[in-house]
Chain A
């Protein structure tokens, strides 16, 4: 039986006004995706595996200084620079707006990482190892990557697949556990909606700074932001001017033209630093 796919296009909205830089998303991602434990030497060598990372920037001069946080994960670009450069098609775009990595195909040329403006592609410099007592915490749904290949945020695609199995085959509403009548077991926007499928980082965010949903779903919380972001791109492509002081929506490194499926919302600073 071939599942009747509908026109999903998943997207994430990162509200920087809510982000406190608590790193809960980083830890959740680490646990969900079987990412090796980042030891001190990994950080010193700049080889830490962080599919999502919190970048911390300082604004102002001491003592008049503020810390700024921005979570950066794979942006799942529509025009992803990593995709055309892989010689073996280890990374490609699937029909749900995700940029996916096929670990078995990867030969480790590292061109995708070189060509990623956000530096979110992690290379396995060493064979991944876990302490013995952590062996049972590995997620059975996620492949363990060997050394010498590239890995990156997958928008927790294994959760999406599990949600689809729950809805379509088992007939269970993933969020509430209710039974779905057989006629309704379809992977449409009414069934596969926000909540039925959430990446680990979104689920763990204590301030709801991360939101994840279908961009095409009219009821989804991210649609208005994506509509606005797409409008901005359209305006710019036609030579128009986007007044950035009136909108919070932006995309990271938009000028490269990657069209990410992650949208950022600017921080609203109640007490901005006085510029010297």
Chain B
């Protein structure tokens, strides 16, 4: 039984299209502020490419730093989409309905942002056409004998990520078709024609609904293996590195996947709270939804914590001097030990303590705080895996060094956050971030009738 008052279809249309049909006053102001930050970050990246990597804080043992951390972070955020739409759709969790669209769109944009990171991080970005950007778009230059090295995780990586990106976009577009039709009917002029094209002749007859549902379920099932493989493969970037003691571990794949779901679902909960606040969607994003996300997150966070502890335990279990040196650096040496404490506190103990209490789960301020905590913590997690592992790579102590990010790296990282926010804001102007038809379907499914003395659902779904 769901909370909240029953909603009429007319009301659903009016309230959920508010972000598109009447754009709020602050919209273009916020967009231009975010756009300015993105422009600054892009010019900074241009400066870095022009000057060389000397302007970053990278050095010889620590060749990967903030950019790769940020890449893994955004790939992690992208795992919310499938987690919420595909898994919850297949498991028929009713409370998923308002969260799916926002999660899927966040998936698409965070994947796109993530893929800019390896591009920026290469020393000669203008030549990455020989690496990742050939795979989906351009035929490879086989005629000149140039081949990609398929043994490297850096080729598996873009393959997996682009597969995920393609299937996520398909997933979003299929779910959007009925909503595009609604928009087509309520707009005029050029936007009417564009929405008409995107709606692909949707008329809402039974056959079209059946096909749309089949496509959605089919894609949910097909996207699941991709979902698991993407972050596993990203983790193999590290797990396959034989020479970096603390990375070379078989536990990384499940550890990273669970961590990705953890940070991604938290990010979606945060995005939902913001949407509820700025567009006044109290009737749609209700406390029960955030509550359910928080309860899901308790399980995910605990699973993640298990892998985190196991990774450390495995490290100590071998009792090899080089492994101990890394752990000593992570847990004992300032400032890494302070970051480590902040990271574990913010990722597990603080949010789970919040989520365990029902009043806290239903307080949106506390919930958004917990979700921000998780994402700061998960960013630090990747950072604390990547940098100390490289700084104490092997026992040749002469080469040990540390890493201090430069302002260039900070600006580019902040720019990626602004980029995702900007894209989310822009898309909120174009498509409804809460699926109209899905909400209406939920409303129909929750109607009940009384037969004699029992109350039963009035409608069943076939699938």
A residues near B (Cβ < 8 Å) are 45-48, 55-57, 72, 81, 84-89, 105-111, 113-119, 122-127, 146-150, 253, 256-257
> Looking across the interface, which residue of chain B has its beta carbon closest to that of A118?
B396
- Take A147-B53, A148-B122 as given contacts and tell me if A85 and B241 are in contact as well, using a CB distance cutoff of 8 Å: yes
B52 interface hit (Cβ, 8 Å):
yes
Q: A119 with B396: in contact, given A81-B243, A108-B122, A126-B54 (CB under 8 Å)?
A: yes
Q: How close is B456's CB to chain A, nearest CB, in angstroms?
A: 59
Q: Quick one: closest A residue to B128, CB to CB?
A: A107
B237-262 interface with A by 8 A CB criterion: 237, 240-244
Do residues A117 and B149 form an inter-chain contact, with CB atoms below 8 A?
Answer: no
| A84 (CB) vs chain B CBs: closest residue | B151
Query: Are A109 and B154 in contact, CB atoms less than 8 angstroms apart?
Result: yes
Contact indicator B241/A114 (Cβ below 8 Å): yes
Q: Give the distance to chain B from A36, nearest Cβ to Cβ, in Å.
A: 12
Chain B residues closer than 8 Å to A72, beta-carbon distance? 396
Which secondary structure characterizes the binding site on chain A?
A: loop
Residue of B nearest to A147 (CB): B52
Q: State in angstroms the CA–CA spacing of A109 and B54 once bound together.
A: 15
Q: Is B397 at the interface (CB under 8 A from chain A)? A: yes
Residues on A with C-beta less than 8 A from B64 are 110, 114
Residues of B within 8 A of A (CB): 51-54, 58-61, 63-64, 118, 121-125, 127-128, 130-132, 146-149, 151-155, 237, 240-244, 390, 393-399, 401
Q: How far is the CA of A111 from the CA of B241 in the complex (A)?
A: 9
Q: Which of A81, A107, A113, A124 contacts B122 (CB 8 A)?
A: A107
CA distance A111 to B149 in the complex (A): 13
CA distance A114 to B240 in the complex (A): 11
Q: How far is the CA of A232 from the CA of B60 in the complex (A)?
A: 32
Question: Can you spell out 27 A-B residue pairs with CB atoms less than 8 angstroms apart?
Answer: A46-B61, A48-B60, A55-B396, A55-B398, A81-B242, A85-B151, A85-B152, A86-B154, A87-B154, A87-B155, A88-B130, A88-B148, A89-B147, A107-B125, A109-B121, A114-B64, A114-B390, A115-B241, A117-B243, A119-B60, A119-B61, A123-B53, A123-B60, A126-B52, A148-B124, A253-B396, A256-B242
Q: Which residues of B contact A88 (CB under 8 A)?
A: 130-131, 146, 148-149
Closest Cβ of chain B to A28, distance in Å, is: 21
With A89-B148, A118-B396, A253-B396 already in contact, 7 other A-B pairs whose C-beta atoms are closer than 8 Å:
A46-B60, A85-B154, A105-B146, A107-B128, A125-B52, A146-B124, A147-B54
Distance between Cα atoms of A106 and B126 in the complex (Å): 11
Q: Which residues of the other chain, B, contact A127 by a CB distance below 8 angstroms?
A: 52
A45-B59 CB under 8 A given contacts A85-B241, A124-B52, A124-B123 = yes
- Please tell me which one of the listed residues A57, A81, A122 contacts residue B398 in the complex, with CB atoms under 8 A apart: A57
A47 to B121, CA, bound (A): 17
- Cβ B154 vs Cβ A111 within 8 A: yes
Residues of A within 8 A of B237 (CB): 111
Contact across chains for B60 and A107 when beta carbons are under 8 A apart: no
* B123 A149 Cβ-Cβ under 8 A: yes
A109 touches B122 (CB 8 A): yes
Q: Is the CB of A111 within 8 A of B152?
A: yes
**Minimal Cβ-Cβ distance residue in A for B245:** A117
Residues from chain A with Cβ under 8 Å of B125 in the complex: 107
Compute how far the CA of A215 lies from the CA of B364 in the bound complex, rounded to whole angstroms. 71
> Across the interface, which residues of A come within 8 angstroms of B149, CB to CB?
84, 86-89
A113 shortest CB reach to chain B, Å: 5
Q: Which residues of A contact B60 (CB under 8 A)?
A: 46-48, 113, 119, 122-123
Query: In the assembled complex, which residues on chain A have CB atoms less than 8 Å from the CB atom of B390?
Result: 114
- Please report the C-alpha to C-alpha distance between residue A111 and residue B67 in the assembled complex, in whole angstroms: 13
Q: Taking the nearest CB of chain A, how far is it from the CB of B291, in angstroms?
A: 43
Task: Give the distance to chain B from A103, nearest Cβ to Cβ, in Å.
Answer: 10
In the complex, which residues of chain B have a beta carbon less than 8 angstroms from the beta carbon of A85? Answer: 151-154, 240-241
Contacts of B398 in A (CB 8 A): 55-57
Given contacts A57-B398, A84-B149, contact A148 B123 (CB under 8 A): yes
Known: A81-B241, A125-B54. A87 touches B131 (CB 8 A): yes
The CA-CA distance from A150 to B52 in the complex, in Å, is 13
Return chain A residues, CB-CB under 8 Å to B121: 109-110
A255 CB, nearest partner CB in chain B, Å: 9
Quick one: closest A residue to B390, CB to CB?
A: A114
Query: What are the residues of chain B within 8 A of A56 when measuring CB–CB?
Result: 398
Q: Which residues in B have their C-beta under 8 angstroms from that of A148?
A: 52-53, 122-124
How many angstroms between the C-alpha atoms of A110 and B62 in the bound complex? Answer: 10
Contact B59 A47 (CB under 8 A): yes
B63 and A114 contact, CB distance less than 8 A:
yes
**Assembly CA distance A104 to B161 (angstroms):** 27
A148 to B127, CA, bound (A): 11
B396 close to A123 (CB less than 8 A): no
B382 to chain A, nearest CB (A): 15
Cα distance, A109 to B59, chains bound together (Å): 14
Q: Are B244 and A114 in contact (CB under 8 A)?
A: yes
Cβ–Cβ contact B124 & A108, under 8 A: yes
- Please, which residues of chain B bring their CB within 8 A of the CB of A107? 122-125, 127-128, 130-131
Given contacts A46-B401, A86-B149, A86-B152, contact A115 B124 (CB under 8 A): no
A272 to B60, CA, bound (A): 33
**A123 CA / B61 CA spacing, docked (Å):** 10
Q: Cα distance A253–B394 when bound, in Å?
A: 9
CB-defined contacts of A115 to chain B, threshold 8 Å: 241-244
- Chain B residues closer than 8 Å to A109, beta-carbon distance: 118, 121-123, 131, 154
